[in-house]
């Protein structure tokens, strides 16, 4: 058996390592366009590599995977986050779990993950600086593109040609398909247009920016839509970042791309509902009637002063003087503070691509192309992406594993 893997990233290398483990006698070739394998893994998590998540901080899989949740449910059954930790620990990389549910190598060094994968790939023909420019399936030359049934029958018998070289199966793991997949264009696969995900928000509000450095446990949403996210929100010198903002950028990735990254953000600073906030303020007024509202902060002092000013309340106002109008204005500001969004910025250098090869093209259990048997997809090239926290790499490990397992169980051309 000759297997071609296109892309020596997380998914491609993991798939190659599994194939090596299960079928050491097979010839596995990994084509990598760049000069180094696993170049992106080496810089993940700021060089520390957040390799997976314990999935305890999310309520549903869709919360972690806004796109690809159903395929990921199956892939995680085949190879879970616990399997990831066991896999790397068994290969000499002790891992630690942080309080925020993220797993890292104990050494805090992403190169340990890189080396473990490369060790597990010994015997694989890893070809660097070898971009794949053409992939031809048997049907391209011999079957009618309109007759899928005929085409399928023909595919199973002939080899795939990758840069003109013959292989029995091909795994495409070329990562975020921002530039498309020109070498697959002839196959007529359905593609979901790629858009960036995981970015921070540019908010040109001097009052907000003056609070730079504050982190608040809040909820943030896009006005006029149902998109919202909660968690720590970081105020920066350009706008808003932190897990809550990044999550929102992921959930609303396509909507924001279509609206040119313009809109209005709504922040619920206490992440509480109107009745809860009203009750909190009323209690404060009852407990401290003669105190200044500005000196009894329910949030960090700088933010509290900013919000009182936005609610139009005097700095020398006492709780006894708040009245129902003041209470209404302060409640409205605390639960629905609004800021214009004028653009997006990078979160460190981390980003993922939403979109890519449409999941309708593939069998979700095997990740094999329905129309072209012998052609598989894994990792970010698929229309699967996640919020931050190790979920994206977990998708690469799990889908890479499923492809290897499917190829082994199929054993195309075993004779
Ligand atoms: C800076 C940064 C930090 C990140 N940190 C984290 C993190 O800590 N945790 C987490 O879960 N996720 C993180 N991510 C996301 C995560 O790295 C990706 O989701 C993951 O690497 C995707 O793996 P992949 O194998 O699908 O693609 P990639 O890792 O991008 O690999 C694809 C490979 O294919 C090669 N290639 C492309 N086209 C061709 C071609 N035609 N021929 C041959 N080779 C080709 C590319 O050169 C590349 O090496 C981070 C992303 C970035 C950018």
How far apart, in whole angstroms, are the C-alpha atoms of residue 114 and residue 231? 31
Question: 8 C-alpha vs ligand 1 centroid, how far in Å?
Answer: 9
Nearest by Cα to 321 from 290, 295, 299: 290
Note the pLDDT tens digit of each residue in 116-149. Answer: 999 999 999 999 999 999 999 875 444 334 444 4
Please report, for residues 60, 191, 221, 368, the alpha-carbon distance to residue 360 in angstroms, rounded to integers and kept in the order given.
22, 9, 30, 11
pTM of the model: 0.92
Low-confidence ranges of the chain (pLDDT < 70): 139-158, 177-178, 347-350, 411-415
Using CB distances shorter than 6 Å, the residues near ligand 1 are 6-12, 31-34, 39-41, 43-45, 49-50, 131-132, 173-175, 183, 349-352, 379-381, 390-393, 396
| Best of 42, 134, 350, 388 for a ligand 1 pocket test (most atoms within 8 Å of beta carbon) | 350
How far apart, in whole angstroms, are the C-alpha atoms of residue 54 and residue 106? 15
- Which atom of ligand 1 lies nearest, measured to the CA of 132? 42
Question: 247 C-alpha vs ligand 1 centroid, how far in Å?
Answer: 19
What is residue 138's predicted lDDT score, i.e. its pLDDT? 75
How far apart, in whole angstroms, are the C-alpha atoms of residue 93 and residue 77? 23
What is residue 137's predicted lDDT score, i.e. its pLDDT? 86
What is residue 155's predicted lDDT score, i.e. its pLDDT? 43
Determine which residue's CA is closest to atom 20 belonging to ligand 1.
393
What is residue 413's predicted lDDT score, i.e. its pLDDT? 46
Residue with tokens 């960090």: 300
Question: 76 C-alpha vs ligand 1 centroid, how far in Å?
Answer: 19
- Confirm if 153 and 398 have CB atoms less than 8 A apart: no
Question: 9 C-alpha vs ligand 1 centroid, how far in Å?
Answer: 5
- Which atom of ligand 1 lies nearest, measured to the CA of 380? 26
What is residue 139's predicted lDDT score, i.e. its pLDDT? 55
Question: 110 C-alpha vs ligand 1 centroid, how far in Å?
Answer: 13
How far apart, in whole angstroms, are the C-alpha atoms of residue 105 and residue 96? 6
| Burial readout 243-253 (b: 16 or more C-beta within 10 A, e: otherwise) | bbbbbbbbbbb
- In total, the chain counts a number of residues equal to 415
Strand partners, 4: 29, 170
* Beta carbons within 10 angstroms of residue 299's beta carbon: 17
What is residue 297's predicted lDDT score, i.e. its pLDDT? 85
Residue with tokens 């004028």: 342
Question: 379 C-alpha vs ligand 1 centroid, how far in Å?
Answer: 8
Question: 407 C-alpha vs ligand 1 centroid, how far in Å?
Answer: 22
Chain centroid to Cα 22, Å, comes to 29
What is residue 350's predicted lDDT score, i.e. its pLDDT? 67
Signed CA dihedral, 79, 349, 354, 120: sign only? negative
What is residue 349's predicted lDDT score, i.e. its pLDDT? 67
- Which atom of ligand 1 lies nearest, measured to the CA of 394? 11
What is residue 180's predicted lDDT score, i.e. its pLDDT? 75
Question: 196 C-alpha vs ligand 1 centroid, how far in Å?
Answer: 14
Determine which residue's CA is closest to atom 38 belonging to ligand 1.
174
Phi and psi torsions of 216, nearest 5°: -130, 135
Taking phi over 0 as left and psi of -120 to 50 as alpha, with beta for the rest, 29 belongs to beta
Question: 394 C-alpha vs ligand 1 centroid, how far in Å?
Answer: 12
Q: In what order do the strands lie in the sheet with 2-6?
A: 125-127, 27-31, 2-6, 169-172, 375-377
- Which atom of ligand 1 lies nearest, measured to the CA of 131? 42
| Best of 174, 353, 395, 399 for a ligand 1 pocket test (most atoms within 8 Å of beta carbon) | 174
């Amino acid at each position: 058996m000759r297997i071609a893997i296109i892309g020596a990233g997380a998914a491609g290398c993991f798939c190659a390592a599994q194939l090596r483990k299960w079928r050491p006698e097979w010839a596995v070739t990994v084509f990598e366009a760049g000069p180094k394998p696993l170049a992106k893994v080496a810089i993940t998590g700021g060089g520390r590599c957040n390799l997976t998540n314990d999935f305890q901080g999310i309520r549903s899989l869709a919360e972690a995977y806004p796109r690809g949740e159903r395929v990921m449910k199956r892939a995680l059954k085949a190879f879970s986050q616990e399997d990831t930790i066991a896999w790397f620990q068994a290969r000499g990389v002790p891992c630690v779990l942080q309080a925020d549910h993220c797993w890292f190598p104990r050494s805090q060094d992403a190169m340990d993950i890189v080396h473990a994968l490369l060790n597990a790939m010994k015997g694989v023909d890893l070809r660097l600086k070898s971009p794949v420019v053409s992939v031809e399936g048997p049907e391209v030359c011999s079957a009618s593109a309109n007759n899928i049934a005929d085409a399928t029958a023909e595919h199973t018998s002939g080899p795939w040609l990758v840069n003109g070289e013959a292989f029995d199966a091909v795994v495409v793991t070329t990562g975020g398909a921002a530039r498309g997949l020109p070498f697959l264009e002839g196959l007529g696969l359905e593609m979901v247009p790629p858009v960036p995900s995981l970015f921070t928000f540019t908010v040109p509000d001097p009052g907000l920016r003056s609070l730079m450095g504050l982190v608040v446990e809040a909820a943030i949403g896009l006005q006029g839509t149902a998109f919202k996210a909660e968690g720590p929100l970081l105020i920066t010198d350009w706008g808003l970042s932190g897990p809550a903002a990044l999550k929102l950028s992921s959930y609303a990735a396509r909507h924001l791309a279509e609206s040119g990254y313009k809109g209005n953000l709504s922040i619920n600073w206490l992440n509480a509902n109107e009745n809860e906030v009203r009750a909190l303020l009323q209690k404060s007024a009852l407990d401290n009637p003669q105190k200044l509202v500005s000196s009894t902060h329910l949030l960090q002092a700088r933010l509290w002063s900013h919000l009182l000013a936005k609610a139009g309340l005097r700095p020398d106002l006492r709780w006894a003087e708040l009245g129902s109008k003041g209470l209404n204005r302060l409640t409205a500001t605390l639960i629905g503070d609004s800021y214009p969004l004028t653009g997006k910025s990078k979160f460190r250098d981390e980003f993922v691509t939403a979109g890519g090869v449409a999941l309708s093209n593939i069998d979700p259990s095997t990740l094999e192309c329905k129309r072209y048997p012998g052609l598989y997809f894994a990792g970010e090239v698929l229309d699967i992406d996640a919020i931050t926290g190790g979920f994206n790499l977990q998708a690469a490990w799990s889908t890479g594993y499923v492809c290897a397992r499917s190829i082994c169980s199929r054993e195309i051309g075993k004779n």
